[in-house]
A = this chain, B = another copy of it.
Amino acid sequence: MKSVTVYDIAKEANVSVATVSRVLNNTAPVKASTRQRIQNLIDKYQFQPNALARSLIKKATGMIGIILPDITNPFFPEVLAGLEQEARQAGYTFFLCDTGSSNQDIKDQYRRESQYLGILTEKQVDGIIMIGGRIDLHHCGKEMAKEVAEINKRVPIVLINGNLPGAAFHRVVVDEIAGAERVTEHLIGLGHRDIAFIGGYPQMSNTVRRLEGFRTAMERAGLAVREEWVNHGGFSVNRGKELMGRLLDREGRRPTAVVCANDLVGIGAIKAAVKAGLEVPRDVSVTGVDDVPMAANIIPELTTLSLRCVELGRTAARVLHQLISKSDGVELLTTLQPELVVRESTAPPAK
């Protein structure tokens, strides 16, 4: 007879592993009817968790915390969707902690990250996933990095698409440099020579990587990057409008294609172009990065670099689960390859 595990009990009882654990260890209240259902299954299978399982179960609260900077940026909900699918299958419940960076002082954001790190640790979550915020800084301050490293000694932490100096963290990242090269090569392949780059923040590592990929591809093709066509300022639709508006207002030569730091900037760029009487892609090609749902929903549909958000979330959850269950040989770095998604916003330049 196949031996029954706590996972089997949880599955058959339609509850999380954490709930079974609560009944087994009597660590927290469980609804009477649920408790009875679980107890019946334990009796039915004469389930006896072995010592290791019992200690693992005992330690686990079945909860993980996710700290992210801005739930209104559609990139994050997509990553979360993948993360949640995977984490749920492994029996976890999770708390999202939104530090609410949009329209807020950036220092408040980092302070709230600290606050959430503290609370999640107090609440004894089994693990923490961080995405955005301080881990996206090109040069993160020593103290802010050290705070995370200290917590990481007690609670497993996985960083998505970012890093912190001074210690080794488990990280799941998308190769944004290679991705930005691919986007730029797509435009060069269509015949573009005059290509601009807009959006992002120069102090953020994601912007630095995307710009690096852009420069590498341009250089490889023997094309000069015109520095007056490289403009930062943010990741929102409104920033995209402004930055594109400024490009179009300049006297002299105009770019025939614009690489945008993310999809929202790309959408803003398209809106600014249309407002200026141009047609996309006939008069100017536009690309994004992320592949949020909106990218496929605007007209024309946006050519973009898929950061494979859902897979990114899934992978991070998987790595965290391995760390929590103390699996052997968990890689420090897991790298996903992004995918170029060619839609309607790119075409050869007008003759």
Residue from the list B72, B80, B298 in contact with A298, Cβ < 8 A: B298
A 44-89 contacts with B by CB, 8 A: 63, 71-72, 74, 77-78, 80-81, 84-85, 88
Residue from the list B77, B102, B123, B267 in contact with A71, Cβ < 8 A: B77
Q: Report B-chain residues with C-beta under 8 Å of the C-beta of A98.
A: 80, 84, 94, 96
Query: A272 to nearest B CB, angstroms?
Result: 12
Number of interface residues of A (CB under 8 A): 47
How distant is the Cα of A136 from the Cα of B64 in the complex, in angstroms?
28
Known interface pairs A80-B71, A95-B97, A100-B85; A297-B267 also in contact (CB < 8 Å): yes
A134-150 vs B: 1/0 string, CB under 8 Å?
Answer: 00000000000000000
How distant is the Cα of A80 from the Cα of B298 in the complex, in angstroms?
24
A 190-219 contacts with B by CB, 8 A: none
Within 8 Å of chain B (Cβ to Cβ): is A93? yes
B122 touches A28 (CB 8 A): yes
B293 touches A271 (CB 8 A): no
A100 touches B88 (CB 8 A): yes
Within 8 Å of chain B (Cβ to Cβ): is A111? yes
Within 8 Å of chain B (Cβ to Cβ): is A337? no
Which of A30, A78, A116, A294 has the most chain B CB atoms closer than 10 A to its own CB?
A294
Within 8 Å of chain B (Cβ to Cβ): is A118? yes
Residue from the list B31, B85, B95, B237 in contact with A297, Cβ < 8 A: B237
A100 touches B84 (CB 8 A): yes
Within 8 Å of chain B (Cβ to Cβ): is A29? yes
Q: Report B-chain residues with C-beta under 8 Å of the C-beta of A77.
A: 71-72, 74, 77
With both beta carbons as reference points, the residue of chain B lying nearest to A120 in the complex is identified as: B95
A278-320 vs B: 1/0 string, CB under 8 Å?
Answer: 0000000000000001100111000000000000000000000
Query: A225 to nearest B CB, angstroms?
Result: 29
This chain's copy number in the assembly? 2
How distant is the Cα of A111 from the Cα of B294 in the complex, in angstroms?
30
Q: Report B-chain residues with C-beta under 8 Å of the C-beta of A100.
A: 81, 84-85, 88
How distant is the Cα of A111 from the Cα of B122 in the complex, in angstroms?
26
Residue from the list B14, B71, B237, B293 in contact with A237, Cβ < 8 A: B293
Known interface pairs A14-B111, A77-B71, A298-B297; A96-B93 also in contact (CB < 8 Å): no
A102 touches B81 (CB 8 A): yes
Known interface pairs A71-B81, A85-B100, A298-B298; A16-B93 also in contact (CB < 8 Å): no
Q: Report B-chain residues with C-beta under 8 Å of the C-beta of A80.
A: 71-72, 98
Query: A88 to nearest B CB, angstroms?
Result: 7
A 98-136 contacts with B by CB, 8 A: 98, 100, 102, 111-112, 114-116, 118-119, 122-123
A-B contact pairs, 14 of them (CB 8 A): A14-B111, A19-B115, A29-B118, A72-B77, A81-B102, A88-B100, A93-B116, A95-B97, A96-B97, A123-B123, A237-B297, A267-B297, A268-B297, A299-B299
